[in-house]
Chain A
Amino acid sequence: MAEPTSIDGLLAEGQRQIAICNGCRYCEGYCAVFPAMERLPVVGAGDLTYLANLCHDCRACYQACMYAPPHPFGVEIPKLMSEARERSYSEFARPRWFARWFTAGPRAVAALTLAGALVFAFLAWAAGRARGIFAPTESTRTFFDVIPYGLMLVPSLLLTAFLLAVIVWGFIDFQRASRGASHLGARVWLSGLAEVATLRWMRGGGDDCYYPAIERSSPLRRRFHHLTAYGFLAALVSTSLASFYHNVLDLPAPYPVLHPVVLFGLVGGIGMTVGTTGLLWLKARAAPLQARREALLNSSFLVSLNLASTSGLFLLALRDTPAMGALLVLHLGTIVALYVTAPYGKFVHIVYRTAAVLRSAAERAADEAAGGRSAREPAALGRPASTRLP
């Protein structure tokens, strides 16, 4: 696709700041972004998108930057990257006209949750089981006594298919525009995915995130992110297992507490609830180095995950009480909101960040193959990198 033209102002500012970074290079030990900048003879729009999605916003570079405000050079890489990231999210949202949904804030998430819950309540009513929600009787023991299995399955499958399609579409376009490496060998995939899985670039080169306070580093953000991400994965495993037990083994819910479906769901739900609450708490205290819209997208996504996991936990805890029906409908509503907003919210960072980390891993592998030096680097005449104002 064509290079985006809407970010010319941002691109010019990016080129200015990156020229300063490339003349300095003191931050190259923090993360993959700075060595990636050094490999770029010219920074194009696609490159900026790539760098922005490679940046994990750990802010180690900001605290170390002698050119950050009030210095007149005004270098603010976390903010620049946040703005470019936020632009790229709408740029690669598919289908394109859906991108306007990116303005969804936490309130929109709440509204969608409510709408989703109403849809499921309507389905229950249409199936003649509305009483299961509001006036449960002895006969409403399982979720499917409230919402028939088919009515639960079909919307979920549709939403999942929609989400996957939109993600793959965006990933391919993103790869093309950010000039992602075309040949990813097995080793690059392995090392890249390991970096994604361990949040290696949120470690600040061993110094961790300078977040929420710029004054000192803290592992909290990385840990809460791990809880959220792995909690999300555990919840996915739980759901997939449940459908496996139901459809393949013909063992429908409910399952006992020590059943894998319940255990994965419980661990995942707790991880996500603690993780997202922690991240929201840190966010409220963080230095304002984020584009306003990206901050909004982050909050929406975190709130959405938080609602889904918290309502899931409540549903599990109270599934044998009369509150089950109402909680189920509410929980399904939060899942609808999560899936509908996902392709137009912070969820997509999973896709783009992975693509960016893979490109960076491929470039580093190529550097290594070339003997650890970039072709651009003159061996002896280069800057002697002295100290004391070299």
Chain B
Amino acid sequence: MAAYDVVVAGGGNAALCAAIAARSRGASVLVLECAPKAWRGGNSKYTRNIRVAHLDGDAVMPGAYSPQEFLSDLVRVTGKDLDQDLASYVVERSLDLPAWMSDQGIRWQPPLRGTLQLARTNRFFLGGGKALMNAYYRRAESLGIAVRYEAPVVELAFEGERCTGVVVAANGSSERVRAGAVVVATGGFEANIEWLREYWGDRVENYAVRGTAYNDGALLRVLLDLGAEARGNPRGHHAIAVDARSPKFEGGIVTRVDSVPFSIVVNIHGDRFADEGEDLWPMRYATWGGLIGAQPEQMAYSIFDSKVAGNFIGGAYPPLIANTVGELAQKAGLPVLRVEETVGEFNRSIVPGEYDPTRLDGCRTIDLSPPKSNWALPIDTPPYYCYPLIPGITFTYLAVAVDRAARVLRESGRPLENVYAAGEIMAGNILLRGYLAGIGMTIGTVFGVVAGEHAAGVRRG
């Protein structure tokens, strides 16, 4: 039977950070990635940057971002009931991440167009998340870390209190691997449609999963069944509006549709159902997954005209185009008369104002329900455009509780002796709801390194 000091389940950012940190402390390490090599890297391959505190600016990050400011940003988006101790720990340790990551061969770039508002707080990977993961895998290879693909861990083996290894399903059979310590970094369960159905019913059939198809939450379930303490709302998930033509899995960033604040959004009956101009899009875009999920057939249609067509970044799919609203509705398969009525009512209720897409401009409707509070311009200039929308799930919040050493905590409060968790599977200790750009990578990298370092300290008995 194969035996390693540290076995890492997972193949994304947290997993590779744990593996590299453990190997750097002298441990023999095996990484078990359930995806084939071409699909390795979990959700991390779709990321782009990492949020880090820093006391001085440098070539890629202008200005300072203090740990205090980072922490208060985090509390603002997710609420005060986060684990304060772990949150401050992540923020403090983030100070050291750029140097550590550079040592592993990660390269950086200054943020360019469309991302400048994150320049001070977030550090951008040259080429994005897949380039980052490629660099980590190259580093793992040069350090002599063993990596197996298509090797999902299905079980943890125990002798008494102590985890003695893992069971891997490979080639239709299962295989034991002995381990001095195990790091579980297998992400959330957003790709497990059956699990999602437990909370949301059949509507999840119509959702897209934006990231990896391999986050089935199998080990999250195993840990919970072993008595690990759950953190976060099991129903909690991050979902946004994506193009209805998106693939079921792995659509990533380019299926996202950003036309909502410039448009009106109707459901399959041709009725509006939410305020498209409530706030600046970065503040609101993550609410639209839930809003569309609550509509019949989980479908919606963003309709706008040529006046605003160049005001946002397009996606992978071209919009539907027509010369009249009616023709557009017909192309979209919507009730033509009702859509014409909705557009007419909307156009008639607009208060004239000074349109400005860069701020809350107060161009709004009156006597319309629901209202559009900003950026309300009449839809009257052909050609007309439409993006069909569905909800796209980004990640789930349900997590296992961990301590500062990344050890998994049981409901009794006692940790599992030599089982560690890192990444999305424990991010719910710190991010209970909402989102802060780059925070997932911060949590994954800090706890990956911490888990690897501690796991390397536990030698095979």
> Sorted from nearest, which 7 A-B pairs have the closest CB atoms?
A26-B128, A29-B109, A64-B127, A388-B440, A386-B437, A384-B282, A23-B254
Q: What are 15 residue pairs bridging A and B, where the CB atoms are less than 8 Å apart in the complex?
A: A23-B254, A23-B256, A25-B313, A28-B109, A60-B127, A65-B130, A67-B254, A205-B107, A378-B358, A381-B262, A381-B357, A381-B358, A382-B281, A384-B437, A387-B438
Contact between A388 and B439, CB atoms less than 8 A apart: yes
Residues of the A chain whose Cβ atoms lie less than 8 Å from the Cβ of B127: 26-27, 29-30, 60-61, 63-64, 205, 207
* Beta-carbon contact of B114 and A388 below 8 Å: no
Any chain A CB within 8 A of the CB of B200?
no
B112 at the interface (CB under 8 A from A): yes
Chain A residues 33 to 69 lying within 8 A of chain B, measured CB to CB, are 35, 38, 41, 60-61, 63-67
- Inter-chain contact A66/B126, CB cutoff 8 Å: no
Residues of B within 8 A of A373 (CB): 113
Check A389 against B313 for contact (C-beta < 8 Å): no
The listed residue (B38, B134, B313, B438) touching A382 by CB distance below 8 A is: B313
When C-beta atoms are compared, the residue in chain B nearest to A34 turns out to be B112
Q: Which residues from A are CB-within-8-Å of B285?
A: 384
Chain A proximity mask over B222-256: 1 for CB below 8 Å, otherwise 0: 00000000000000000000000001001011101
A386/B43 in contact, CB under 8 A: no
Whether A19 pairs with B316 at a CB distance below 8 angstroms is yes
- Is B46 interfacial (CB 8 A cutoff)? yes
Q: Is the CB of B358 within 8 A of A379?
A: yes
Given contacts A41-B310, A207-B126, contact A387 B114 (CB under 8 A): no
**Nearest CB on A from B38, distance (A):** 5
Kindly provide the distance from the CB of A144 to the nearest chain B CB, expressed in whole angstroms: 56
Contact B126 A29, beta carbon cutoff 8 Å:
yes
Within 8 A of B (CB), among A367-390: 373-374, 376-390
A216 within 8 Å of B by Cβ? yes
Residues of A within 8 A of B51 (CB): 387
Q: Say yes or no for B291: interface residue by CB 8 A criterion.
A: no
A66 engages B256 (CB within 8 Å):
no
CB-CB under 8 A from B122, the residues of chain A are 387
A366 at the interface (CB under 8 A from B): no
* B-chain residues with CB within 8 Å of residue A161 when the two chains form the complex: none
Chain B: which residue is nearest A28 at the CB level? B112
For the complex formed, measure the closest distance between the CB of B133 and the CB atoms of chain A, giving whole angstroms: 9
The chain B residue with its CB closest to the CB of A72 is B247
Q: Known interface pairs A64-B134, A383-B258. Does A389 touch B253 (Cβ–Cβ under 8 Å)?
A: yes
Q: How far is it, in angstroms, between the C-alpha of A70 and the C-alpha of B247 when the chains are bound?
A: 13
Task: List, in ascending order, chain B residues with CB within 8 A of A66's CB.
Answer: 45-46, 128-130, 250, 252
Residues of A within 8 A of B (CB): 19-20, 22-30, 35, 38, 41, 60-61, 63-67, 70-73, 205-207, 215-216, 373-374, 376-390
**Which residues of B have CB within 8 Å of A27?**
127-128
Interface membership of B372, Cβ < 8 A: no
Q: Is B435 an interface residue (CB 8 A)?
A: yes
Besides the known contacts A19-B315, A385-B49, 20 further A-B residue pairs in the complex with CB atoms under 8 A apart: A19-B316, A19-B318, A29-B109, A29-B112, A70-B39, A73-B254, A205-B107, A205-B109, A207-B126, A215-B138, A378-B311, A378-B358, A381-B281, A381-B357, A383-B258, A384-B281, A386-B435, A387-B51, A387-B122, A389-B47
The A interface, classified by DSSP as helix, strand, loop or mixed, is loop
Judge whether B315 and A387 touch: CB under 8 Å: no
Asked whether any CB of chain A lies closer than 8 Å to the CB of B441, the reply is: yes
Residue of A nearest to B211 (CB): A389
User: Nearest chain-A residue to B117 (Cβ)?
Assistant: A384
Closest to B252 in A: A66
The residue of chain A having its C-beta at the shortest distance from the C-beta of B424 within the complex is A388
Band of interface residues on B: 35 or more
- Asked if A382 meets B126 with Cβ closer than 8 Å, knowing A66-B252, A388-B47, the reply is no
1/0 per position for B362-374, CB-CB distance to A under 8 A?
Answer: 0000000000000
Complex Cα gap A376–B113 (Å) = 10
B311 touches A387 (CB 8 A): no
B313 — which chain A residues lie within 8 A by C-beta? 22-23, 25, 382-383
Which residues does chain A contribute within 8 Å of B438, judged by CB atoms? 386-388
Question: Which residues of A are found within 8 Å of B101, using beta-carbon distances?
Answer: none
B118 within 8 A of A: yes
A390 and B111 alpha carbons, distance in the complex (Å):
15
Cβ contacts under 8 Å, A61 to chain B: 127
**Contact: B43 with A205, CB < 8 Å?**
no
Q: Mark B114-149, 1 if CB is under 8 A from A, else 0.
A: 110110001010111111001000100000000000
Q: Let me know if A389 and B46 touch, CB within 8 A.
A: yes
How far, in whole Å, are A35 and B114 apart by their CA atoms in the complex? Answer: 11
Q: For B199, list chain A residues within 8 Å (CB).
A: none
Bound Cα distance A374, B116 (Å): 13
Residues of chain A lying within 8 A (CB to CB) of residue B39: 70
Q: Are A24 and B254 in contact (CB under 8 A)?
A: yes
Asked if A390 contacts B113 (CB within 8 A), the reply is no
Q: Give CA–CA (A376, B134) in the complex, Å.
A: 33
How far is it, in angstroms, between the C-alpha of A380 and the C-alpha of B310 when the chains are bound?
14
Query: For B131, what are the chain A residues with a Cβ–Cβ distance below 8 Å?
Result: 26, 60, 63-64, 207
> Which among B48, B131, B211 has the highest number of chain A CB atoms within 10 Å?
B131
Contact yes or no, B252 A24, CB < 8 A: yes
Known A388-B395, A390-B253: A381·B128 in contact at CB below 8 Å: no
- Known contacts: A384-B285, A389-B46. The answer to whether A378 contacts B126 by CB under 8 A is no
Residue of A nearest to B317 (CB): A19
Which residues does chain B contribute within 8 Å of A64, judged by CB atoms? 127-128, 130-131, 134
Asked if B180 lies at the interface with its beta carbon under 8 angstroms from chain A, I say no
Digit string of B325-340 for contact with A (CB within 8 Å is 1, else 0)? Answer: 0000000000000000
Which residues of chain B are within 8 angstroms of A60 by Cβ–Cβ distance?
A: 127, 131
A20-B254 contact, Cβ under 8 Å, with A30-B127, A64-B131: yes
Contact B48 A28 (CB under 8 A): no
* Contact indicator B138/A73 (Cβ below 8 Å): no
- Nearest Cβ distance between residue B132 and chain A, in whole angstroms? 9
Whole-angstrom distance between the Cβ of B60 and the nearest chain A Cβ: 10
Q: When the two chains form the complex, which single residue of B113, B211, B258, B375 contacts A38, counting CB atoms closer than 8 Å?
A: B113
Q: Give the distance in Å from the alpha carbon of A389 to the alpha carbon of B187 in the complex.
A: 13
B383: chain A residues at CB < 8 Å are: none
- A63 vs B311: C-alpha distance in the bound complex, in angstroms? 31
Q: Once the chains are docked, how many angstroms separate the CA of A206 from the CA of B109?
A: 9
Closest to A389 in B: B394
User: Which residues of the other chain, B, contact A22 by a CB distance below 8 angstroms?
Assistant: 313-314
Chain B residues numbered 378-405 whose CB sits less than 8 Å from any CB in chain A: 394-395
In the bound complex, how far is the Cα of B318 from the Cα of A376, in angstroms? 17
Q: Is B270 an interface residue (CB 8 A)?
A: no
Interface: B71 (CB within 8 A)? no
Is A381 a contact partner of B312 (Cβ separation < 8 A)? Answer: yes
Q: How far in angstroms is the closest Cβ of chain B from A94?
A: 36
B452 within 8 A of A: no
A27-B127, A383-B258, A385-B115 given as contacts; is B357 within 8 A of A378 (CB)? yes
Is B261 among interface residues, defined by CB-CB distance under 8 A? yes
Which residues in B have their C-beta under 8 angstroms from that of A26?
Answer: 48, 127-129, 131, 253
Q: How far is the CB of A42 from chain B (nearest CB, A)?
A: 11
A60 to B127, CA, bound (A): 8
- Is the CB of B210 closer than 8 A to any CB of chain A? yes
Complexed CA–CA distance, A25 and B256 (Å):
13
Does B50 belong to the interface (CB within 8 Å)? yes
Report B362 CB to chain A, min CB distance, Å: 15
- Check if B315 sits within 8 Å of A23, measured CB to CB: yes
Q: Is B280 an interface residue (CB 8 A)?
A: yes
A216 touches B437 (CB 8 A): no
CB-CB under 8 A for A377 and B253, given A386-B438, A389-B47: no
* Nearest CB on B from A320, distance (A): 52
B394 x A388 contact (CB < 8 A): yes
